[in-house]
């Protein structure tokens, strides 16, 4: 079974429509997938329709932006009910803050002589309410201010950089509760990418566990075998199920893996997808 439980479409910051995304996953041999757009579920019906046509088992998903102890982390909800009003209200609140953050970042960029970032970024976003730092980075590349997106985050947009803007997203406990209210499973997305100390990582996992969180991604994007082994041990230590996803946004992306082609998890893992069979 080829599994991918974390990927993105044009509904958030991916470059493929939900239909195109599922077709590519199928072409890559994927048999079980979840679409997990940032803070939005509008692509799930379209994606499921194509998955049914191609005989791919499809799981409703979403990736929610969360503020935890002054940091931004991402929590994935898997197997959620689309019509759940508690979850949809939370997602709407999170989305409402995106344009406000874009305006604040654009004002900081303007002070550095980079004019037009707000309108230029909006023009790049398929869905304006889902504008992300990735769209801002795309604008900075397209306008010639940086050579590649990684440079945009390293110089301007990354946490603590000159044009970063702290933003209060959803709370951890309310996010896990909303996922559960929608009948879903809560998963910490790409925990290996948060640059946490060992103590901070334990705190995150402990807080998540206390909130009722069930799983962490043991594989995400382009993690290597050592990463997978380390996070498999952490999942075992904290009693978490293990998830796996490419975090695919676009072909050739610097952070994402190949859609639908995640490596096998270490044998000690208890896969989250056993709950969906």
Q: List the domain boundaries for the chain.
A: 3-91+169-276, 95-157
Distances (CA, A) of 130 to 40, 95, 115, 124, 125: 8, 6, 21, 11, 7
Cβ count within 10 A of residue 239: 10
Q: Give the model confidence (pLDDT) of 136-177 as tens digits.
A: 999 999 999 999 999 999 999 998 899 999 888 999 999 999
Percent of the chain clearing pLDDT 70 (strictly above): 98
d(CA 81, CA 56): 19
Q: Give the model confidence (pLDDT) of 222-275 as tens digits.
A: 899 999 999 999 999 999 999 999 999 988 765 567 899 899 999 999 999 999
The contacts of residue 161 (CB under 8 Å, 6+ apart) are 153, 154, 155
Query: Do 3-91+169-276 and 95-157 agree at the fold level?
Result: no
Q: Give the model confidence (pLDDT) of 90-141 as tens digits.
A: 999 999 888 889 999 999 999 999 999 999 999 988 788 888 888 999 999 9
Q: What class does CATH assign to 3-91+169-276?
A: alpha beta
pTM score, two decimals? 0.88
CATH number for region 95-157: 1.10.150.650
Q: Nearest-CA neighbor of 63 among 136, 157, 154, 170? A: 170
In the structure encoding, which two tokens stand for residue 242, read together?
């293990």
In the structure encoding, which two tokens stand for residue 225, read together?
């075998």
């Amino acid at each position: 079974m080829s599994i991918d439980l974390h990927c993105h479409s044009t509904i958030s910051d991916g470059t493929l429509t939900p239909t195109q995304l599922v077709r590519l996953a199928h072409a890559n041999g994927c048999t079980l997938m979840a679409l997990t757009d940032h803070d939005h579920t509008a692509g799930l019906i379209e994606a499921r329709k194509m998955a049914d046509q191609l005989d791919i088992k499809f799981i409703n998903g979403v990736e929610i932006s969360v503020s935890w102890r002054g940091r931004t982390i991402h929590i994935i909800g898997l197997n959620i009910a689309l019509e759940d009003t508690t979850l949809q209200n939370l997602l709407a609140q999170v989305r409402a803050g995106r344009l406000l953050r874009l305006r604040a970042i654009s004002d900081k960029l303007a002070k550095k002589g980079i004019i037009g970032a707000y309108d230029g970024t909006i023009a790049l976003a398929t869905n304006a309410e889902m504008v992300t730092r990735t769209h801002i980075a795309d604008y900075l590349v397209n306008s010639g201010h940086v050579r590649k997106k990684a440079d945009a985050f390293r110089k301007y947009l990354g946490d603590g950089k000159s044009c970063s803007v702290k933003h209060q997203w959803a709370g951890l406990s309310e996010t896990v509760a909303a996922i559960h209210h929608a009948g879903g499973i809560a998963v910490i997305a790409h925990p290996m990418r948060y640059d946490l100390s060992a103590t901070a990582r334990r705190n995150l996992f402990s807080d998540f566990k206390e909130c009722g969180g069930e799983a962490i991604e043991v594989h995400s994007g382009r993690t290597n075998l050592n990463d997978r082994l380390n996070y498999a041990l952490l999942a075992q230590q904290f009693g978490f199920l293990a998830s796996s996803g490419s975090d695919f946004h676009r072909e050739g992306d610097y952070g994402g893996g190949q859609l639908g082609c995640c490596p096998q998890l270490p044998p000690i893992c208890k896969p989250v997808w056993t709950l969906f069979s």
